Homo-oligomer: A and B are copies of this chain.
Amino acid sequence: MNPAVRFNPPQQSRSQATLERILDAAERVLAQKSFGEATLAEIVEEAGVTVGAFYRRFPDKDALLHHLDDRFFGELYLLADELFDVQRWQGSAVATILRAVTERSAQLYGLRRGLLRSLFLRARTDPRIQQNACRLNDHYLERIRLLLLPRRAEFSHPDPERAISLGFVVMTGALREMILFGEVWPSRAELVGDDLPSELARVYLAYLGAAPGAA
């Protein structure tokens, strides 16, 4: 079955517009609370429509999150292609690459915090979201391996391939910990600081055992 069942808006000006209003409203609500906490009534009110309008587009509540999931993950695949493009980084130092990766990731996590939180929390329960996430992570791991493995000579870690993968997981975990779920860390502001990306790049680089690059 497809993302959101039923998706041919003929009287576009109306139905397409309300659909987008619902999606935007949902993302706005998810900035404040998780998908489980958010009620349909709430989302629908934020969108300025009624429940009936919602059920004309989606078979049930879950389908809404799945729709946001598909849409967002689509963007993330594109980001991967852009970020790990072998051509783009021809001749660049590993430090430069990783700096760009952490920078962009941190930015993304900050901008889409609510949605990411909700998707992450639901991934434990919802097999479909989990599978999507798993595939996406696989894609990222493959791409970053493809990009960094040819430079393995620069790394002093005994198992460069594993270090590349594990380092990526560590970086991702740190971003989640600090940006998505940072409420549990005291004096978070100082911890994160304004140079979190460069520190995370430093972690990654140091773990690989590569030259730190310019400050």
Contact status B134-A181, CB under 8 Å: no
For the complex, what is the distance from the CA of A166 to the CA of B172, rounded to whole Å? 14
Task: Report whether over half of chain A's contact residues are helix, strand or loop; otherwise say mixed.
Answer: helix
Q: List 25 A-B contacts (CB under 8 A).
A: A34-B124, A37-B125, A123-B183, A124-B181, A124-B183, A133-B184, A134-B184, A134-B185, A137-B185, A137-B186, A138-B186, A162-B190, A162-B199, A166-B191, A167-B203, A169-B177, A169-B178, A169-B185, A170-B177, A170-B200, A172-B177, A173-B177, A176-B176, A176-B177, A206-B206
Contact status A170-B166, CB under 8 Å: no
Give chain B nearest CB distance to A201 CB in angstroms: 11
User: Are A191 and B165 also in contact (CB < 8 A) when A183-B123, A206-B207 are?
Assistant: yes
Which residue of A120, A173, A193 has the most chain B CB atoms within 10 A of its CB atom? A173
Give chain B nearest CB distance to A32 CB in angstroms: 11
CB neighbours of A157 from chain B (8 A): 202
- A120-131 interface bits toward B, Cβ cutoff 8 Å, 1 = contact, 0 = none: 110111000010
Interface assignment of A3: CB less than 8 Å from any CB of chain B: no
Interface assignment of A36: CB less than 8 Å from any CB of chain B: yes
Contact status B125-A203, CB under 8 Å: no
CB neighbours of A174 from chain B (8 A): 169-170, 173-174
Interface assignment of A141: CB less than 8 Å from any CB of chain B: yes
Contact status A162-B123, CB under 8 Å: no
Interface positions of A from 167 to 215, Cβ below 8 Å from B: 167, 169-170, 172-178, 181, 183-186, 190-191, 193, 199-200, 202-203, 206-207, 209
CB neighbours of A124 from chain B (8 A): 34, 117, 181, 183
For the complex, what is the distance from the CA of A13 to the CA of B157, rounded to whole Å? 58
For the complex, what is the distance from the CA of A209 to the CA of B117, rounded to whole Å? 32
Q: For A137, give its contact among B130, B173, B184, B202 (CB under 8 Å).
A: B184
